[in-house]
Amino acid sequence: MSRGPEEVNRLTESTYRNVMEQFNPGLRNLINLGKNYEKAVNAMILAGKAYYDGVAKIGEIATGSPVSTELGHVLIEISSTHKKLNESLDENFKKFHKEIIHELEKKIELDVKYMNATLKRYQTEHKNKLESLEKSQAELKKIRRKSQGGRNALKYEHKEIEYVETVTSRQSEIQKFIADGCKEALLEEKRRFCFLVDKHCGFTNHIHYYHLQSAELLNSKLPRWQETCVDAIKVPEKIMNMIEEIKTPASTPVSGTPQPSPMIERSNVVRKDYDTLSKCSPKMPPAPSGRAYTSPLIDMFNNPATAALSSQKINNSTGKRFSLIYLKIPFTFVLK
């Protein structure tokens, strides 16, 4: 891809500006995000320590159980293992701070000053070389005008050749300067990205080693942990023997034939007294043989027409009964 000197010069300046206006501010933001990351991981490690301390306490409770002693020891071992892994993670994140955050903080301030100075130096040198070239080109034009005048043509011809060589040399020089400047700017940019990648590769290597250690440790313990909780209803043989001894009648010492409870005799006496009392008590009077009448309130939630008809029947029946009684016993009837 062919580009002219001016286009390459613009690429050089834009590369320096990208580093100063985008890369370096991005690094500042990355530093802040990294510190937040550290705080979050530290908080997680502290919370994990508290959690696995709680797991260990529950494990201690389980060790006092006849059937869960082994499970209690497993819980305590799980707690200590995870706390060990958390401590290792904490050590790795100290390296994260030392090898990434600290290095970025140290580089960022120096780099801002360095890139500003480098860009200004390039622009100044480019400007000086360009002015020198333009000055030589202007002198060459003057010589050519004089050589075309006719007088001393040979003299000006030699000067013209000298200025042509000078202009050509300065053009080559400025083109080389622009090319070298562009290459240097692009490499400056690449060095910064390479630095960032290299630091994260180093930290990734630490994390990779941490995960390998964690996997090795957990693989050596996990199968045994899982074996302890495969059968939740299995009772240890020692405990089963104890239970069987309790269930066997021969194992209970016999101290004699049990006597009836005093409460049974007391119940018999009370029953006899009750029977005697019931025989001697006067009989209850018989219930009246009169017809029982249904209250009209029973139909209060039914159809109004049906309720009225039922009430009318009851009133008619009551009136007839009242008349018969009144004729038979006129002076002793009392309404209650």
Give residue 33's Cα distance to chain centre: 18
CATH of the domain at 237: 1.20.1270.60
Q: Percentage of the chain surpassing pLDDT 70?
A: 70
Task: Give how many domains the chain has, as a whole number.
Answer: 1
Q: How far apart are CA 10 and CA 185, in angstroms?
A: 11
Neighbouring CB atoms inside 10 A of 58's CB total 13
331, part of any domain: no
User: Read out DSSP for 129-157?
Assistant: HHHHHHHHHHHHHHHHHHHTTSTTHHHHH
pLDDT at position 181 is 95
Higher pLDDT, 293 or 189: 189
Give residue 323's Cα distance to chain centre: 91
180, part of any domain: no
- pLDDT tier, 205 (very low <50, low <70, confident <90, very high otherwise): very high
pLDDT at position 259 is 56
Tokens 């630091």 correspond to: 199
278, part of any domain: no
Tell me the pLDDT of the chain averaged across its residues.
Answer: 79
Q: How far apart are CA 38 and CA 3, in angstroms?
A: 46
85, part of any domain: yes
Q: How far apart are CA 115 and CA 237, in angstroms?
A: 78
194, part of any domain: yes
Query: Is the confidence at residue 249, as pLDDT, over 80?
Result: no
Q: Residues 1-6: contacts with CB within 8 Å, 24+ apart?
A: 5/174, 5/175, 5/178
165, part of any domain: no
φ and ψ at residue 180, rounded to 5 degrees: -65, -40
Query: Is the confidence at residue 167, as pLDDT, over 80?
Result: yes
Q: Percentage of the chain surpassing pLDDT 90?
A: 50
Q: What angle do CA 240, 241, 242 make, to 5 degrees?
A: 90
Q: What domain range is 208 assigned to?
A: 9-139+186-243
pLDDT tens figures, 210-244: 999 999 999 999 999 999 888 777 777 777 777 77
pLDDT at position 261 is 56
Residues 60, 152: contact at Cβ < 8 Å? Answer: no
Q: Which amino acid is at 318?
A: T
Q: Which range, of 138-142, 165-169, 283-287, averages the lowest pLDDT?
A: 283-287
115, part of any domain: yes
295, part of any domain: no
Higher pLDDT, 162 or 72: 72
Higher pLDDT, 166 or 277: 166
